[in-house]
Amino acid sequence: MFSKKITRISFAIAFTVVMLMWLVFAFDYYLELDLYRYGVRPGEWSGLIGVIASPFLHSTNDVGHILNNSLPAFLLTWLLFYHYRTIATKSFLMIFILSGLGTWYLGKESYHIGMSGVIYGLTSFLVLSGFFRKNMRVAGISLFVIFIYGSMIWGIFPIKTGVSWEGHLSGLFAGLMAAVLFKQVGPQPKKLRYEVEEELGIEPEEEYWTEGYFERKKQEKEQLALQENKPRIIIKYNYVPKGGILPLDPQVTGEEE
């Protein structure tokens, strides 16, 4: 029941983010509002409004821009809020703000719009957090993200004209910063058996890959079997009181093995 609730909440948040992107795009496209003017404008104070607005703004001249950002934005946001629910909001806002500020500081003189900076931030956060926490489930998510969006790494270099590589790079570092800052919060790595034994001061058991392990275990079992089948030897003795006369009372007779 709890897992289903978290799934619904995470889905709703991710769906809301993508829906806002498309609503803004639809208004901008049909009403010709030229909302790109509210994107990040590096070096200008008025351009700081783009730190908040630009992730929801996409080019109306190329529908591929918003199409390419929709699926990764939904998937990565869902993964963040499902697996890191205790730090998801703080991490998302940190990535959201820092990616915009980094673009404003580093970017060339132009309008920078789109969710791609946040997408780069979410990707780097999920990947690095998975390695930090040494958790098989989280690590699996990280590998999945690398496999699906690994080629995105080339987007941080000024290779393609018209692409805000500054926004991608800023998002990447924002995600790394969030992962480092919150690495002690949220799902933590399970301790291995030898780590628990070391903390408790227990001498760890011999591992099966050590030389001669199976031979020693076989000898131990054989010795244990011999001890269990070994005949019992009873030693009887009598207590002789002073005077040298043996007592007739059997209570003074003792036995021991």
Distance CA 202, CA 54 (A): 56
Q: What is the pLDDT of residue 35?
A: 94
Question: What is the per-residue pLDDT across 67-123, written as a single tens digit (0 to 9) for each?
Answer: 989 988 998 999 899 988 889 999 999 999 999 999 999 988 889 999 999 999 998
Domain segments of the chain as ranges: 2-181, 193-256
Residue 247 pLDDT grade (very low, low, confident, very high; cuts 50, 70, 90): low
Q: Is the pTM of this model over 0.85?
A: no
| Rounded-to-integer distance, Cα 27 and Cα 34, Å | 10
Quickly list H helices, 150-241.
165-181, 193-200, 213-229
**What fold characterizes domain 2-181?**
Rhomboid-like fold (1.20.1540)
**Whether 24 contacts 57, CB under 8 Å:** yes
User: Quick check: helix, strand or coil at residue 231?
Assistant: coil
Q: Which of 67, 157, 168, 151 is nearest to 112 (CA)?
A: 168
The beta strand positions in the chain, using DSSP E, are: 235-238, 253-256
**50 and 41 in contact (C-beta within 8 Å)?**
yes
